Amino acid sequence: MSTVVDEAQLAKLAQEQEALAADVLLPMQPADGYVPQNGDVLCTLDVQYVGEVGCVAADLFRWPNEPVTTISQKIPVTFPYIPQYFSFREGPLLQQMVTHVVNETKITPSCLLIDGHGRAHPRLLGIACWVGLALDLPTIGCAKEPLLPFDKTTLATPRGSTQNLYRVTDVERVDRLGVALVTQDGVRPVFVSVGHRIALDTAVEMILHLASRYRLPEPIRRADQLARRASKNDHTHNTLTHC
């Protein structure tokens, strides 16, 4: 891909991120946002890249954690990899994948879980925010590495331990934007933040519930494994069940 983004274009994209970030709905109380109900169908999304093709995987499951189906699709990438502007590269792929899932299954997910950041981003607009806004769906970001300052030496090690994540200015910490969450005793945390239309405390509770055995939540692990198989051209089979 020959696309080159210069400094002026990056400045414009940063302004776009900040404008979009203002549209993210951030419920202050859990009841004001999405709260999962038994039987809701949720969707996790992950991408592996082969050159300039994204191998996108979706895992649909019925809350609290009953697998429904997994679907993969290969989609060309149209934007280069630039740190902190990742939503412009991966966002359109995930948006297209959710549309494909809805068309294939006739199911509109109640909530999206994305392997990436939401508000815990230097400009408050990670990939989970971009996708949540594009589709107007409740969305959670669950990332493997932080983008905001994080002191691992002060985080306790038992399952369920948390440390708040803040954006830091020259003079103060600004807003609680996410949480470092220990999902299993003694393991490295994951980094949870709101994408759209869900309270942070609800998002943290959901991720901890879904991470019943491993560091990553089970549905995110399933999507990650399917995306990796798709990137290696392994044949996969969807296992759609009726909802």
Domain containing 42: what range? 36-144+194-231
Instruction: Answer yes or no: is 158 within a domain.
Output: no
Instruction: Answer yes or no: is 13 within a domain.
Output: no
pLDDT, position 173: 64
pLDDT, position 5: 86
Alpha-carbon distances of 43 from 110, 113, 184, rounded to whole Å: 8, 6, 23
Instruction: Answer yes or no: is 116 within a domain.
Output: yes
Instruction: Answer yes or no: is 183 within a domain.
Output: no
pLDDT digits (tens, 9 = 90+) for 184-195: 999 999 999 999
pLDDT value at 22 more than 70: yes
- In whole angstroms, give the CA distance from residue 120 to residue 83: 14
- In whole angstroms, give the CA distance from residue 175 to residue 66: 35
- In whole angstroms, give the CA distance from residue 91 to residue 3: 17
Instruction: Answer yes or no: is 210 within a domain.
Output: yes
Q: Does 213 or 1 have the greater pLDDT score?
A: 213
Instruction: Answer yes or no: is 242 within a domain.
Output: no
Q: What is the number of structural domains in the chain?
A: 1
Indicate the DSSP class of residue 182. -
Q: What is the mean pLDDT of residues 20-40?
A: 96
pLDDT value at 24 more than 60: yes
Instruction: Answer yes or no: is 179 within a domain.
Output: no
- In whole angstroms, give the CA distance from residue 187 to residue 135: 33
pLDDT value at 236 more than 60: no
pLDDT digits (tens, 9 = 90+) for 201-213: 999 999 999 999 9
pLDDT, position 235: 47
pLDDT, position 243: 29
Helices (H), the chain: 7-21, 86-105, 127-135, 200-210, 218-231
pLDDT, position 233: 80
> pLDDT averaged over the chain?
92
What CATH number did the domain enclosing 199 receive? 3.30.2170.10
Helices (H), 60-199: 86-105, 127-135
pLDDT-derived band at 228, boundaries 50, 70, 90: very high
Q: What is the mean pLDDT of residues 62-77?
A: 96
pLDDT, position 4: 77
Q: Does 90 or 176 have the greater pLDDT score?
A: 90
pLDDT value at 237 more than 60: no
pLDDT, position 240: 39
Instruction: Answer yes or no: is 40 within a domain.
Output: yes
